[in-house]
């Protein structure tokens, strides 16, 4: 289906041009993506979805996002968090919501939990762009927490759940915008057929962007990963959209992340 391949190639070229135009270049090096918050957290801060802590905290984005996020995808997806991450927003969120978390014990206040949350969200902005999953970063997070809060009421055995929760909130945000992007834009794709709705295509797009987060860090191109993506897609239930039609949406979602759009552009075109 040459028209689809030509379209995807043209989209990749367009993405590159737009990426260069609004990449927020570093004033010294000229490198794209410099951001004072992301840089500051990286220098001063401590630093997959679906957390087992007796109860789930954070919740899964989807079945495909379970493998370690490596340096390539971590750099792309994590970079987007550095562009938008606001520690004040995170602190306010947790202050307003911490009591709803199942690991929170009534004898502890937000002042007790806040350093744990801060360790999580600052750690995410530091270690995830380096390609680390939470599991890989946890020893570093623990070391920083215990070093900076050695006299704190909340020991690591209790603090770690809040730290993990804060990490997962930002990780979820790194991909959450993809569903909205495709919901708004899927109709302008040449492979989309008028008798199918977004509900028909949504699983294909999700397979693409979640699959990218899993397989690209392992050094796989889309062609390398396609058999795995097909297995995921077909394993996750019956869909009106068969693989022969879904694969173009999957590839499109993969290429969107491969070119770093999620880290630089959430706008609807």
Rounded mean pLDDT of the chain? 73
Is residue 248 one of the residues assigned to a domain? yes
Under 8 Å between Cβ of 173 and 266: no
Residues 201-218 pLDDT 10s: 999 999 998 888 778 867
Question: Does one domain contain both 164 and 185?
Answer: no
Question: Does one domain contain both 122 and 155?
Answer: yes
Amino acid 130: pLDDT: 76
Amino acid 252: pLDDT: 96
Please list, in sequence order, all residues whose beta carbon lies within 8 angstroms of the beta carbon of residue 162, skipping any fewer than 6 positions away: 94, 98, 101, 103, 104, 113, 116, 117, 120
Question: Does one domain contain both 16 and 63?
Answer: no
d(CA 9, CA 41): 36
Instruction: Quote the tokens at residue 188.
Output: 């302008």
Amino acid 9: pLDDT: 52
Number of H helices, E strands in the chain: 11, 2
Is residue 31 one of the residues assigned to a domain? no
Is residue 7 one of the residues assigned to a domain? yes
Amino acid 84: pLDDT: 59
Q: DSSP string spanning 25-50? A: --TTT--TT--HHHHHHHHHS----S
Question: Does one domain contain both 195 and 136?
Answer: no
Is residue 205 one of the residues assigned to a domain? yes
Please list, in sequence order, all residues whose beta carbon lies within 8 angstroms of the beta carbon of residue 214, skipping any fewer than 6 positions away: 64, 65, 66, 67, 69
Question: Does one domain contain both 53 and 130?
Answer: yes
Domains identified in the chain, total number? 2
d(CA 258, CA 97): 34
Question: Does one domain contain both 139 and 239?
Answer: no
Question: Does one domain contain both 164 and 200?
Answer: no
Is residue 233 one of the residues assigned to a domain? yes
d(CA 266, CA 178): 8
Burial class (CB in 10 A: 0-12, 13-18, 19+), 158: middle
- What's the domain range around 237? 2-25+177-264
Question: Does one domain contain both 48 and 149?
Answer: yes
Is residue 269 one of the residues assigned to a domain? no
Amino acid 198: pLDDT: 96
Is residue 190 one of the residues assigned to a domain? yes
Question: Does one domain contain both 170 and 252?
Answer: no
Question: Does one domain contain both 63 and 165?
Answer: yes
Amino acid 176: pLDDT: 73
Under 8 Å between Cβ of 115 and 158: no
Low-confidence ranges of the chain (pLDDT < 70): 1-84, 174, 217, 260-269
Amino acid 32: pLDDT: 39
| Listed residues 175, 203, 234: the one ending a domain | 175
Question: Does one domain contain both 157 and 65?
Answer: yes
Instruction: Quote the tokens at residue 241.
Output: 């959209």
Under 8 Å between Cβ of 255 and 212: no
Is residue 80 one of the residues assigned to a domain? yes
- Find the angle CA(253)-CA(254)-CA(259) to the nearest 5 degrees: 100
Question: Does one domain contain both 151 and 228?
Answer: no
């Amino acid at each position: 289906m040459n028209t689809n391949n030509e379209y995807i190639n043209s989209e990749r070229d367009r993405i590159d041009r737009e990426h260069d135009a609004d990449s927020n270049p570093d004033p010294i090096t000229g490198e794209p993506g410099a951001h004072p918050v992301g840089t500051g957290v990286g220098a001063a801060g401590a630093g997959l979805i679906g957390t087992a802590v007796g109860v789930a905290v954070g919740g899964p984005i989807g079945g495909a996002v379970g493998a370690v996020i490596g340096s390539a995808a971590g750099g792309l997806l994590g970079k987007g968090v550095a562009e938008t991450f606001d520690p004040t927003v995170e602190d306010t969120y947790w202050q307003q919501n911490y009591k709803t978390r199942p690991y929170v014990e009534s004898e502890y206040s937000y002042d007790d939990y806040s350093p744990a949350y801060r360790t999580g969200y600052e750690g995410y902005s530091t270690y995830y762009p380096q390609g680390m999953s939470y599991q890989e970063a946890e020893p570093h997070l623990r070391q920083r927490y215990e070093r900076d809060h050695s006299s704190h009421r909340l020991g690591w055995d209790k603090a770690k759940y809040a730290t993990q929760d804060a990490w997962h909130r930002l990780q979820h945000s790194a991909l959450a915008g993809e569903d909205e992007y495709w919901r708004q834009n899927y109709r302008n794709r040449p492979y989309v057929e008028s008798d199918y709705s977004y509900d028909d295509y949504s699983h294909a797009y999700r397979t693409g962007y979640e699959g990218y987060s899993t397989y690209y860090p392992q050094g796989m191109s889309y062609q390398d990963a396609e058999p795995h993506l097909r297995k995921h897609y077909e394993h996750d239930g019956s869909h009106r959209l068969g693989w022969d039609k879904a694969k173009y949406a999957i590839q499109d979602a993969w290429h969107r992340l491969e070119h770093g759009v999620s880290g630089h552009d959430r706008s609807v075109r």
